[in-house]
């Protein structure tokens, strides 16, 4: 499933293609929205943004197209002249004079009033969006120490959208490694320095992934990995998908754990 950084990058690309542009045609092809097709005819897209893993396309007539990709949804942006060979089910299509912007396969799509976005059942229950400008180290540190979070295991906390919105599998492993947090620990078992380091790691690793196309390692490691001809999955992260390989810091073997069937990779020495 795409995580917050991937959705935010997609929102940036869609915004570039649609916001303020002349849209020649909008097609809603999914039952939950096709009945609203008329509401949108002639409307302009004013902005596109993401909130955690939700995509929000805002129109100038007071409506917003909300979509969540879940496991299968996918946005594509192509030149309008490119032949469309996808076998996926088309849900939404925007055509400008040059581009075709399409949403495929998603099932969680709604047209809502823009002023109701914050009270949407999915969005209103989310924790702080880790990529939001207003969510800084101190917000995240307070959240870790909150009643809702302080007694929960790190491994569970880092995937729970109600605690921290926008995180997913790869970010969870990378954030805990970068903060030297053992996945079994709970915030209440940590001192204030460790909690601050954890909060900083949530923000910094998520931002790094957003700015650098999902890559969480430093530029040196990325370049060295490419130079060595390693596959992307070996150099993209510090620990995630590097199980059984040596830790980049201490050379211990990276270990894979599973929590609720989802993989978490960590270094038993750095995250003792
Ligand atoms: Zn290590």
Q: pLDDT per residue over 1-48, tens digit each?
A: 789 999 999 999 999 999 998 899 999 999 999 999 999 988 999 999
CB atoms near residue 12 (< 10 Å): 14
Q: What is the CATH number of domain 137-266?
A: 1.10.8.50
Distance 242 CA to ligand 1 centre (A): 12
> Is residue 158 very low, low, confident or very high in pLDDT (cuts 50, 70, 90)?
very high
Distance 179 CA to ligand 1 centre (A): 12
Q: What is the pLDDT of residue 100?
A: 96
Mean pLDDT for the stretch of residues 76-96: 92
Question: Computed from CA positions of residues 169, 173, 179, 185, in that sequence, does the dihedral angle turn out positive or negative?
Answer: positive
Backbone φ and ψ for 25, nearest 5 degrees, come out as: -150, 135
Q: What is the pLDDT of residue 70?
A: 85
Distance 270 CA to ligand 1 centre (A): 4
Model's pTM, two decimal places?
A: 0.92
Q: What is the pLDDT of residue 24?
A: 92
Q: Distance (Å, rounded) from C-alpha 23 to C-alpha 40? A: 11
Q: Distance (Å, rounded) from C-alpha 70 to C-alpha 73? A: 6
Q: Catalytic residue positions?
A: 2-3, 53, 262
Q: What is the pLDDT of residue 84?
A: 82
| Residue 131 scores a pLDDT above 90 | yes
Distance 129 CA to ligand 1 centre (A): 29
Mean of the per-residue pLDDT values of the chain: 95
Distance 249 CA to ligand 1 centre (A): 5
Q: Distance (Å, rounded) from C-alpha 196 to C-alpha 135? A: 14
Q: What is the pLDDT of residue 165?
A: 95
Distance 212 CA to ligand 1 centre (A): 23
pLDDT tens digits for range 227-261: 999 999 889 999 999 999 999 999 999 999 999 89
Q: Where are the domains of the chain?
A: 4-124, 137-266
| Residue 144 scores a pLDDT above 90 | yes
Residues 6+ apart with CB under 8 A from 54: 7, 66, 67, 68, 122, 123
Q: What is the CATH number of domain 4-124?
A: 3.20.190.10
């Amino acid at each position: 499933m795409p995580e917050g950084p991937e959705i935010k990058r997609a929102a940036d690309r869609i915004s570039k293609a649609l916001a303020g542009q002349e849209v020649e045609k909008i097609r809603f092809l999914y039952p939950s929205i096709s009945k609203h097709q008329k509401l949108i005819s002639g409307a302009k897209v004013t902005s596109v943004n993401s909130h955690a893993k939700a995509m929000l396309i805002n129109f100038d007539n007071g409506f917003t197209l909300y979509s969540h990709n879940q496991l299968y949804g996918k946005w594509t942006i192509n030149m309008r002249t490119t032949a469309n060979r996808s076998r996926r089910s088309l849900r939404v299509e925007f055509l400008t004079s040059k581009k075709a912007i399409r949403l495929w396969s998603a099932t969680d799509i709604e047209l809502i009033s823009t002023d109701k976005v914050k009270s949407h059942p999915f969005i209103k229950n989310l924790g702080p969006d880790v990529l939001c400008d207003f969510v800084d180290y101190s917000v995240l540190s307070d959240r870790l120490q909150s009643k809702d979070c302080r007694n929960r295991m790190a491994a569970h906390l880092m995937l729970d959208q109600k605690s921290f919105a926008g995180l997913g599998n790869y970010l969870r492993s990378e954030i805990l490694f970068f903060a030297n947090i053992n996945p079994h620990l709970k915030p209440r078992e940590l001192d204030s320095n460790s909690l601050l380091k954890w909060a900083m790691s949530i923000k910094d690793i998520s931002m790094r992934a957003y700015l650098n196309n999902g890559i969480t390692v430093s530029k040196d490691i990325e370049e060295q990995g490419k130079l060595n001809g390693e596959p992307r999955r070996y150099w993209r992260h510090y620990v995630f998908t590097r199980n059984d390989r040596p830790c980049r810091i201490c050379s211990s073997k990276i270990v894979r754990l599973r929590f609720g069937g989802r993989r978490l990779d960590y270094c038993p020495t750095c995250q003792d």
